[in-house]
Amino acid sequence: MSTTDGSAELIALQSVVAGRFSLERELGRGGMGIVFLARDVALDRPVAIKLLPLDFSRDPALRERFLREARTAAKLSHPNIVPIHLVEEHGDLVFFVMAYVDGETLGQRVRRAGPVPPSAVRRMMQEVAWAIGYAHERGVIHRDIKPDNILLEKGTGRALLADFGIARVVDASAMTDRREILGTVHYMSPEQACGEQVDGRSDLYSLGATAFFALTGRLPFEAANLPAIIYQQVNESPPRVATLARATPARLAEAVDRCLAKEPAQRFQSGEELVEALGAVGDVARVVPPPVRVLTRQLRDAGVALGIMGSVTFLFIFVMGDDLLAMLPTRPLMLMYLVGFVVVLPTLFLSRLFRATRAVLRAGFSAEDVWNALLAEAREIQEEDAVRPGQGNMEQLRKGQERWIRWAPAIGVFGILAVANGIATGDVREMLIGTVAAIVAVVQWGAGPAVEADSPLRVLNLAERLMIGRFGKWLLRIAGVGLKVPDRVPAALDQRTEIVLASAADQLFDGLPSDVRRRVPDVPAVIQHLQRDAEALRKRETALRDVLARVDIGVSAPTDSGRRQVGVEIEAARAKAQSRMESAVVALENIRLDLLRLHAGVGSHDELTADLEHAREIADLVDAELAASDDVERLLSGRGTPSQPS
């Protein structure tokens, strides 16, 4: 939680939602609103709150339209639409609460790392097309689809569409006054840019422009001013995707080009039609978690290096043959090369691979995650090969690799026999060639078993094949020895609300001038007291809920009055614990808010003193509640629960 975010909007909004939501920090702002990361106190989960700018909220027409359409969007329930939990207005504050998506927008992804792989773009288009198709069937047109309104969930790569219906708040006459809308106009359909009536096909145009940007890293139309952009959209055709992103598969490029057709009748007529044109969802790639991505990158680099070094060494030994041993004492560089390749390089390779594999397992990922990452990479390579010259030569090399894997046992036997015969006859060349053959056989056997001709895994290099083959299974087993797999949920999102609030309040207090801190020295103690009380009450509420579920006591059951009475007692104790816990969280929130106001220069010492006194009263009530726990402990232990009939 930010300790310096004391903006007037945050303070005003926090004052309104205190006790229900705890604002942590600002996530971003634009012409259409300010988004804050917050926590739902009752459900103890992260949420995002979007606040309508005050100059919009004070306009009755815009305010009413915002509320009406936000409530319409809140009725949409789809796995690729960011759900809106509630919409509220309090004076000049108009806002809605939506699910928090841990990740980044598509726009941030492109600006950070450049164009997106075609397989990931295809998945994004499919998922957004599903979302808008679902909304169109219910009469809702988005009208503001763009990269910054598409969220990519970390870990899964799922695309979620945000701000459904919110763009309707601003009409065409306001475009020239809003920088945010100036950015949006690059993705508008020709009919929308001209102010004409739009339907769902306009959203598909915007999705095509978004995919164009994701694939190429540039906009379909670029000009110095708004009229020039609108002129291009209405009168000029955008460049074909395949001319700017040559690795894009033909089917995907054609789909994007068709979405960008000038006439709506020439585009896809529905989101479902676009999904069907893009093909099965199983063909798309996943976003690979960073630890797994590091491992796969090292495998790919190692495969190239080992291939080059192995080929050079084999030729070197084959050509030099019997003269090799005689030359080594007089050629130190040659000796260093052989020792480096035979001993040092494999040792370094195995050491790095072991550390990277252990890091993957330590982060909580599994062998299946590694396999899926390599499979995703293989599919991307397949897509690029489809438009890359020399595909026939690559296919021949892959067939050769499969033959080597199948013949690995025979090659190994040949190598052993060659080494034995070389020793018997004193033939150095035969011994060296036999040794290399045996090593190659072991490596190829570790990369096995061979895969079918239509498998994407054929495109992987030798090091990557080792990871998904017999060698990889062995390595993952060894690397996982002694590791304790941690919780993969990010700690910042997994912490309890009271812990986050107390930590933020402590940091805010530490940041105050020393003379202010001396006037209220007991603030840290009160914060810690409230945190402990809230944690204890939350545990009690959870335990009582579990007891209620475990013994299946219905508070409205028509039979067995004894069981029904116990159910009533447990539910009453649970509700009381939850109420006290929420009171402690609210007291913590008020202290944090007072400290935020002091940092912003709009608070007073008297307000903080009053809230501290109120917090002490709540802490005393909670302590009394925790002390008088005989009845609750009896219920938790089950001593007061009648046995259920057998």
CA dihedral over 116, 117, 120, 125, signed as positive or negative: positive
CA 496, 499, 503, 506 dihedral sign is positive
Using CA atoms, how far apart are residues 418 and 429, in angstroms rounded to an integer? 10
Cross-strand bridge partners of residue 30: 33
Please give the positions annotated as active site.
144
Nearest of 45, 200, 215 to residue 120 by alpha carbon: 215
- On whether the CB atoms of residues 615 and 590 are closer than 8 A, the answer is yes
The reply to whether omega before 409 is within 30° of 0 (cis) is no
- Residue bearing tokens 């330590």: 362
Chain position carrying tokens 């590694």: 370
CB 143 within 8 A of CB 203: yes
User: What's at 343, amino acid-wise?
Assistant: V
Alpha-carbon dihedral sign for residues 320, 324, 330, 336: positive
Q: From 358, 608, 582, select the one nearest 484 (Cα to Cα).
A: 358
Handedness of CA 101, 106, 111, 113 (dihedral sign): positive
Distances (CA, A) of 154 to 104, 287, 291, 359: 8, 8, 13, 18
Pair 259, 190: CB distance under 8 Å: no
Could you tell me if 187 and 209 are in contact, meaning their C-beta atoms sit under 8 angstroms apart? yes
CB 26 within 8 A of CB 36: yes
Backbone angles phi, psi at 378, to 5 degrees: -60, -40
Taking the C-alpha atoms of residue 142 and residue 163, their distance in angstroms, rounded to an integer, is 8
DSSP class per residue in 236-257? -PPPPHHHH-TTS-HHHHHHHH
Residue 500's identity, in one-letter code, is V
How many residues make up the chain in this entry?
646
Residue pair 50/44 in contact (Cβ under 8 Å)? The answer is no
Longest dimension (CA), the chain: 100
Whether the Cβ atoms of residue 498 and residue 537 lie closer than 8 Å to each other:
no
